[in-house]
Every structure is written in structure tokens, then in C-alpha cells.
Structure 1
């Protein structure tokens, strides 16, 4: 089994984009202060924070306008095809915002090591129970370390992260992981990355990029939508197959947001069985999760992992094209449910 995880809101308790941006703002302010000190001048306090706030406000306005003007409306979208068309139509909104980040130079001059250390520091602050400043902390979902120990180290399953986050180095810092497989527990990260100029581009070759295109070129389109994420999932599966050809092709995908719809369905519809999709949700999932509500609106059952059948069971003829989906609050619930375990004879009966 190949375990593929979304990052923000799945591995972490909350989305970490605000924390990543706050780290970049602090970095740029420190750089400005250093320059001003050397020149014995004074900088504009709050300038970087204002740039970031403006980007957020413009993004939210664009998103609201796009959603309001899109047809068919949410209530009228009752098929997976309709929903994916809407989700991928947000491409213009997402990329416009990412290009604003590039033009604002919020991440300019930041190295992968800077971003890695920022991720490390954020999750370390999150481990401090007295630290309530959510703007600067990242917390991992309950049971993630134990889950990783079981699936990666004990079961020897490959683990990948697929994320529309802006920085693969930031993700690795939060996970305190790297690209090395020397420890036998490498987590491959398929996400965007920050270039020296502050541009945000994918850290793997896109299908649409010319064969001779330099991956460092700032004009490569970032990936940010549902179908972009599905492309990254395909790349993750292909990379795993190249390094571990003996591993079964089944994938279990875990995600929490609307950008995960296509990946969840792709994993849940594995014709050979053995895979599935798990939605991460807080509280009473069907009530609190927009993603679960959308899947139910499209006609799919999303039981809690404690009530779902095991993913590794053989697919029955009467299942047809019904995707194997479930939801959980955290990784402890997933492990306790045994949904990823091999079924016993009694389970198959």
C-alpha cells in the first residue's frame, strides 16, 4: 500500500499558510532592519504585513466573485464531473494570487534552508502547550508520529505528501524530513517551491511544461487546483513504483479540503481493490466538513472509519464503481479502526 497525504489540515491540525506567510514577513522585516542598521536609516514598519494583508483581501474578493458568478450553482452540481469543473475553474483565482505573492517579493531571498528551519521552529512552538499564538505555531494531528511509525517503519509502505502549499522546504521542516532515503523512512514531498526571486513553482516537472524547460524558470505555472493535485498524485505513485517496483499499486489517500476531491476518488476507485480515500475532519465530520458534505451531495457514502469496511478487502462484483471512502478526526482513529489492515477470513465472509 502507498500512503499519500495532503499536508495542510490533514497532517497538521490547521492550514499553515498563515504561519508560513508570517514567517516570511518576519524574515523580510529582519532583512530590512539589518540593511537600515548598516545604512543608519529607518525602514517602514509594517510594510511587509500590509503587503500580505492586501494579497489575502484580494484573494478572498476574487474567490467570492468567481463563486457567485459560476454556473451551475453549488446546489445544482450533482455529479462529480460538474464539481471538478467548478473546482478547476478556480485556477485563475489561485494563480493570480500566487503571482501577487511573487510580485510582492514576500519570499524573495529566502533559501530552502531558511524555510526548512521556519517549519521546524513552527512545529516546535506548537509542542509547547502554553503557546497560544496560533499565528506562529503548527500542530500535528493526534497520532501522526505513531501512524508514520507503523506504516513506514513497520509495514515498509511508501509515504508521500501531495500539497498545494507554497513551500516544500517548509513542509519538510514541519515534518523534520528530507529527501534522503538513508534512514529507510523518506517522505517524498510533491508541492510548490520558492525560487530565489520569490516565485512559486512546482518542485516536479509539469506535464504541460516543455521538455527543455528549466524548472527554475519563474514563469512555470504553480500548481494549486484539484486537477493539479491529481497530477502530483500520479507523479508520487510513479516515483514510488520506480524505487519500489515490488510494492502493490493500491493507494490510500488522505485529505481534508476541496482540492482533495479528485485524489480521494482516484484512490477510492482503484479497480484492483486495496486502496481508498479518507477525509480528515474535525468534530462531527458530516456537519463540520465542507468536503464530506460535497461528497454526500454528489451521492457518495462517507462513513466514519470505525463503521467502514477495510480497504484491503477484494472488490466485490456488486460494488461496481462505488468509491471506498471514509472519514476520521485523527490518525489514532484510523489506526484503531484497522481500516488499513489486511482483512481476516471472518472479515471476508
Structure 2
């Protein structure tokens, strides 16, 4: 079995984009404090908090406008094809926002080891029950360490992470905080990375980058959409096949947002030895998760893992092309359900 995980909201309880950006803001403010006279002489605006807030506001406005003008509307999209067309259409909106990050130089000068340490410290703050600093704190979903122990360590299953997060180094720092003894090479990460100039580009060679975007600054288009994640999934599967050719192509994918929809269905339809997709959600999943609600709107059954059949069972004729899907609040529920056994 090959386990592939989304990062934000899947390994972590919530999205960590704000925490990553807040770490970058603090870094740039510290740099400015060391070189304040030079910044003033150049007339540079050092209000990094305002730069980040402006990027968020413009993204939200772009997303709202795009969604309002898109047809068919959400409640009329009843097929997977229609939903994927909408999700893919958001690629330009996401890339425009990532390019604003580049132009604002929010991550300029941040080396990988700095971002790695930032991720590690964010989880350590989350483990401190007295720490109330939510702007710089990351929480992992319960049972994640035990889940990795059972899958990667005991069963020797390949485990990969694919994420549209802006920093693979940040992700690795979060993972290291979870288990300092685990080797970084034990888990392959397919995500974006931060360059010296502050540009955000994929950390793996792109195959299907859209041709209609501005490449004046970067040769590589940022890794941002649901279709990008499918490309990363295929890269992860190929890498696992090269390193562990003895393993079957059974595939389990876990994600929490609509950018994970295509990967979940892909894994759920896999006929090479079983597999499935698990939607991670907080609280009462079907009532609170946009991803689960979208899957149900498209006609898919998404039972809780405690009520779902095991993924590794032989595929029966009456299943047809229906993807094997389930949902869970955390990794403790997944382990207790034995859905992967």
C-alpha cells in the first residue's frame, strides 16, 4: 500500500498558510530592525503585516469574483467533470496570488533551514498547553505519529506528501517536530519551495504546467490547483515504484479540501490491488466539510471510516466505477477502524 497525504488540514488540524506567512513577516521585520537606516534611505515600505493582509484581501476578492461569474453555478454542478472544470479554472486565481507574494518579497532571503526551523518551532508551540499564540502555532491531528509508526515504520509502506503549501522546508520542519528520530528521506514531499528571491516554485519537475500564464519571472509555474496535485500524485507513485518496486500499486489518498477531490476519486477508483480516499474533517464532517459536501453533491457515498468497508478488499462487479471513499476526524479514528488492513 502506498499512502499519500495532503499536508494543510490533513496532517495538521487547520491550514497553516497564515502561520507560515506570519513567520515570514516576523523574519522580515527582524531583518529590517537590523538594517533600518538602509531601508529608510531607499524609501522602502517595511510594513510587512500590511503587505500580507493586502495579498489575502486581493486573493479573496479575486476568488469571490471568479466564483460569482462562473457557470454552471455550484448547485448545478452534478458531475465530476463539471466540478473539476471549475476547480481547474481557479489555477489562474491562485497563481496570481502567489506571484503577488513574489513581488512583495515576503519570503525573500529565507533559506530552507530557516523555514524548516520555523515549522518545527510552530508545532512545539502547539504542544505547549499554555501557549496562546495562535498566529505562530501549528497543531497536528491526533494519532499522526502512531499512524506513521504503523504504516511507514512497521509495515514499511511508502508514505508521500503532496501539498500546494509554499514551502517544502516548512513541511519537513513540522514533520521533524513530530518525530525527531525519523529520517527526512523516509517521507517524500512534493510541494512548492521558496527561492532566494522569494519566488515560489515547484520542488519537482512540472509536466503539465498551463501555457497561458506569465513566465517572465519564473520558468516554473507555481504548484497550486487540484490538477497540479494529480500531477504530483503521479510523480509520487512513480518515485515509489522506482525505490520500492516490490510493492503493489494499491493507493490510499487523504485530503481535506476540494483541491484534493480529484486525487481522492483517483485513489478510490484504483483497481491495482485496492485502495481508496479518506476525507479529513473537523467536527461533524458531513455538516462542516466543504469537500465531503461536494463529494455527496456529485453522488458519491462518503461513510465514516468506522462504517466503511476495508479498502484492500477485492473490488466486486457491482461496485462499478464508484470510488471507495470514507471520512475521518483524525488518525486515531483511521487506525481504530482498521480500514487500511
Normalized against structure 1, the TM-score is what?
0.91
RMSD: 2.1
Check the 8 A contact 1:272/1:314 in 2, yes or no: no
User: Which consecutive residues of structure 1, in runs of 5 or more, have no partner in the other structure?
Assistant: 210-216, 342-349
What residue is the counterpart of 2:282 in the other structure? 282
Farther-moved stretch of structure 1 (273-282 vs 165-174): 273-282
What residue is the counterpart of 2:267 in the other structure? 267
Check the 8 A contact 2:208/2:231 in 1, yes or no: no
What residue is the counterpart of 2:228 in the other structure? 228
What residue is the counterpart of 1:242 in the other structure? 242
Q: Distance in 2 between matches of 1:92 and 1:60?
A: 13
1:45 deviates by 8.5
Q: Distance in 2 between matches of 1:43 and 1:153?
A: 54
Residue 96 in 1 paired to residue 96 in 2?
A: yes
| Residues 257, 143 of structure 1: alpha-carbon distance in 2 compared, 3 angstrom cutoff | same
| Residues 335, 174 of structure 1: alpha-carbon distance in 2 compared, 3 angstrom cutoff | same
Q: Distance in 2 between matches of 1:229 and 1:242?
A: 20
Check the 8 A contact 2:176/2:182 in 1, yes or no: no
What residue is the counterpart of 1:165 in the other structure? 165
- Taking the TM superposition and a 5 Å limit, the aligned residue runs for 1:204-223 are 204-208=204-208, 218-223=218-223
| Residues 39, 11 of structure 1: alpha-carbon distance in 2 compared, 3 angstrom cutoff | closer
Check the 8 A contact 1:279/1:326 in 2, yes or no: yes
| Residues 43, 121 of structure 1: alpha-carbon distance in 2 compared, 3 angstrom cutoff | farther
Give the 3-state SS of the residue equivalent to 2:74 in structure 1. coil
Q: Distance in 2 between matches of 1:297 and 1:132?
A: 38
What residue is the counterpart of 1:4 in the other structure? 4
**CA deviation map 1:182-207 (0-9, x unaligned):** 95971100000000000000000000
1:208 deviates by 3.8
Give the 3-state SS of the residue equivalent to 2:14 in structure 1. coil
What residue is the counterpart of 2:23 in the other structure? 23
What residue is the counterpart of 1:146 in the other structure? 146
| Residues 99, 184 of structure 1: alpha-carbon distance in 2 compared, 3 angstrom cutoff | closer
Q: Distance in 1 between matches of 2:238 and 2:71?
A: 35
Give the 3-state SS of the residue equivalent to 2:7 in structure 1. coil
| Residues 40, 5 of structure 1: alpha-carbon distance in 2 compared, 3 angstrom cutoff | closer
User: Which consecutive residues of structure 2, in runs of 5 or more, have no partner in the other structure?
Assistant: 210-216
What residue is the counterpart of 1:70 in the other structure? 70
What residue is the counterpart of 1:300 in the other structure? 300
1:142 deviates by 0.3
| Residues 272, 114 of structure 1: alpha-carbon distance in 2 compared, 3 angstrom cutoff | same
What residue is the counterpart of 1:36 in the other structure? 36
Check the 8 A contact 1:9/1:15 in 2, yes or no: yes
What residue is the counterpart of 2:213 in the other structure? none
Q: Distance in 1 between matches of 2:24 and 2:182?
A: 31
Q: Distance in 2 between matches of 1:329 and 1:296?
A: 17
Residue 81 in 1 paired to residue 71 in 2?
A: no
| Residues 185, 203 of structure 1: alpha-carbon distance in 2 compared, 3 angstrom cutoff | closer
Dislocated runs of 4+, deviation >6 Å: 37-46
**CA deviation map 1:141-171 (0-9, x unaligned):** 0000000000000000010000000000000
Check the 8 A contact 1:303/1:326 in 2, yes or no: yes
1:132 deviates by 1.8
Farther-moved stretch of structure 1 (182-191 vs 1-10): 182-191
Q: Distance in 2 between matches of 1:282 and 1:130?
A: 23
Check the 8 A contact 1:33/1:43 in 2, yes or no: no
- Taking the TM superposition and a 5 Å limit, the aligned residue runs for 1:49-64 are 49-64=49-64
What residue is the counterpart of 2:156 in the other structure? 156
